[in-house]
């Protein structure tokens, strides 16, 4: 399945996929609107469910994320399966840029900023590890620097 073909589709009768914003090992991530609230969310769709191990891993990831509460981690809002077997998870949408995009645009960040970002990443990872969660894909493209009042990253 071409992930761009899902743009315009509504999942779970309430999540309208508006644009594909990323791709990963499981599938694709979309910016979506939660109907009828109009709230912007991120929807991660598993495009490889024909493979039993990937399906199991995706469901396990959703269960684990549903238990994780930390200001440096994106919150899982919903999870579902479509009649055609498409699994998806809905997460809060983080307004900001990935560390990967910032590094690509700026080349480097000052040591003080790098130290602050690293401390926040480690704090979030510690919270995950305390719950038995291992991230397995830490990289600049997966670290969001949110535009938040308190300046913390996600």
Active site (catalytic) residues = 137
Cα(125)–Cα(103) distance, integer angstroms: 21
Task: Count the residues in the chain.
Answer: 154
Element housing 39 (H / E): strand 39-46
Which own/partner pairs from 126-133 qualify as long-range (CB within 8 Å, at least 24 positions apart)?
Answer: 127/68, 127/70, 127/72, 127/73, 128/68, 128/70, 128/73, 131/64, 131/67, 131/68, 133/64, 133/68
Residue among 110, 111, 77, 112 nearest 91 (CA):
77
Cα(128)–Cα(135) distance, integer angstroms: 8
């Amino acid at each position: 399945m071409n992930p761009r073909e899902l743009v315009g589709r509504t999942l779970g009768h309430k999540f309208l996929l508006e644009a594909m914003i990323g791709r990963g090992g499981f599938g694709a991530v979309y910016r979506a609107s939660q109907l009828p609230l109009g709230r912007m969310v991120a929807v991660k769709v598993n495009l490889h469910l024909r493979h039993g191990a990937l399906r199991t891993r995706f469901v396990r990831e959703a269960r684990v994320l549903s238990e994780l509460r930390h200001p440096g981690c994106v919150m899982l809002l919903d999870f579902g399966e479509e009649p055609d077997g498409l699994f998806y998870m809905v997460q809060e949408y983080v307004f900001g840029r990935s560390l990967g995009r910032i590094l690509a645009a700026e080349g480097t960040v000052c040591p003080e900023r790098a130290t602050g970002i690293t401390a926040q990443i480690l704090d979030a990872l510690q919270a995950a590890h305390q719950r038995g969660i291992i991230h397995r894909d830490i990289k600049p493209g997966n670290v969001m620097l949110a535009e938040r009042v308190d300046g913390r990253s996600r």
